[in-house]
């Protein structure tokens, strides 16, 4: 997608693109409204009668907008992005792997999921595990929001760790969702 001229979006980060402050707390309704507003202006369909060149630029703009929107809508992606803007990359930290308590919890949840499918009421059991995952995930998300409010070393370390943990929970959620889907299809 490179080459060509830098359009506005070249120099702006995702938050600036939507006229938002680069903080974790997000007014979702405002983001959605801005997104629609901007797509009304830049979407290639608006340039149906214009030149090929304008349509190409419009396509790049719209794609850029979609990417920025996607990142900001997902709290985990938004947190990672914010940390990247501040110069930190979650991949470079290895803390979570050194936390046996957290890993034990993950293993336990995974085992609970497997056990759920072999019990008397698999759907209800899987749903119960999903509730637990959601609840724990929510707690870590709150920790993340609090950590991101600060910018000192301790806060950043806490934020990076929270991001890593949420990634684990995210994977668990996906697996649980897939199991639930399979169970539902089997009727």
Partner 1 sequence: MALLQIAEPGQSAVPHQHRLAAGIDLGTTNSLVASVRSGMAETLPDEEGRHLLPSVVRYRPDAPPLVGAAARAGAADDPLNTIASVKRVMGRGVEDVRRLGNRLPCEFVPGASGMPRIRTVAGDVSPVEVSAEILRVLRQRAERTLGGELAGVVITVPAYFDDAQRQATRDAARLAGLNVLRLLNEPTAAAVAYGLDRQSEGIIAVYDLGGGTFDISILRLNRGVFEVMATAGDTALGGDDMDRALATWIMEQAGISDDAGHGQLRRLMDLARTAKETLTDAERVPLRLALDDGGTWEGELTRERFEALVDPLIARTLAPARRALRDAGLRPEDVSEVVMVGGSTRVPRVRARVGEFFGRPPLVDIDPDRVVAIGAALQADVLVGNKPDEEMLLLDVIPLSLGIETMGGLVERILPRNTTIPVARAQEFTTFKDGQTAMALHVVQGERELAGDCRSLARFELRGIPPMVAGAARIRVTFQVDADGLLSVTAREQTQGVESRVEVKPSYGLGDREIEAMLRDSIEHAEDDRDIRRLREQQVEAERVLEALRAALAADGDRYLEPGERAAIEAAAAELERRAAGDDAGAIRRAIEAVEKASEAYVARRMNASIERAMAGHRLEEFE
Which residues are near partner 1 by CB under 8 A?
1, 4-8, 18-19, 32, 34, 36-54, 57-63, 66-67, 69-70, 177, 181, 184-185, 187
CB 31 within 8 A of CB 20: yes
Q: How far is the CB of 111 from partner 1 (least distance, A)?
A: 23
Residue (73 or 145) nearer to partner 1, CB: 73
Angle between helical axes of 100-118 and 153-186 (0-180°, round to 10): 10
How many alpha carbons lie under 13 Å from residue 65 in its C-beta half-sphere?
24
- For residue 137, which of 176, 170, 179, 161 has the smallest C-alpha distance? 170
Sign of CA dihedral 66, 68, 74, 80: positive
Q: How far is the CB of 51 from partner 1 (least distance, A)?
A: 5
Neighbours of 93 (CB within 10 A): 17
Residue (11 or 100) nearer to partner 1, CB: 11
Q: How far is the CB of 3 from partner 1 (least distance, A)?
A: 10
Residue (18 or 159) nearer to partner 1, CB: 18
Residue (57 or 159) nearer to partner 1, CB: 57
């Amino acid at each position: 997608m490179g080459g060509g001229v830098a359009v506005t979006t070249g120099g702006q980060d995702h938050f600036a693109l939507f006229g938002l402050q680069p903080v974790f707390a997000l007014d979702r309704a405002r983001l959605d409204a801005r997104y629609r507003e901007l797509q009304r202006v830049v979407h290639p369909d608006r340039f149906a009668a214009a030149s090929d060149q304008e349509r190409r630029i419009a396509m790049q703009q719209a794609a850029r907008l979609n990417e920025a929107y996607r990142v900001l809508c997902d709290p985990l992606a938004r947190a990672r992005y914010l940390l990247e803007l501040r110069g930190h990359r979650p991949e470079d930290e290895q803390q979570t792997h050194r936390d046996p308590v957290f890993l034990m919890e993950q293993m336990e949840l995974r085992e609970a999921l497997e056990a759920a499918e072999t019990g008397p009421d698999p759907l209800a059991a899987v749903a119960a595990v999903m509730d637990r995952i959601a609840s724990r995930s929510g707690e870590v998300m709150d920790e993340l929001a609090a950590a991101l409010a600060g910018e000192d070393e301790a806060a950043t370390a806490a934020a990076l760790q929270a991001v890593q943990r949420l990634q684990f929970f995210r994977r668990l959620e996906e697996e649980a969702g897939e199991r639930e889907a399979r169970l539902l299809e089997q009727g």
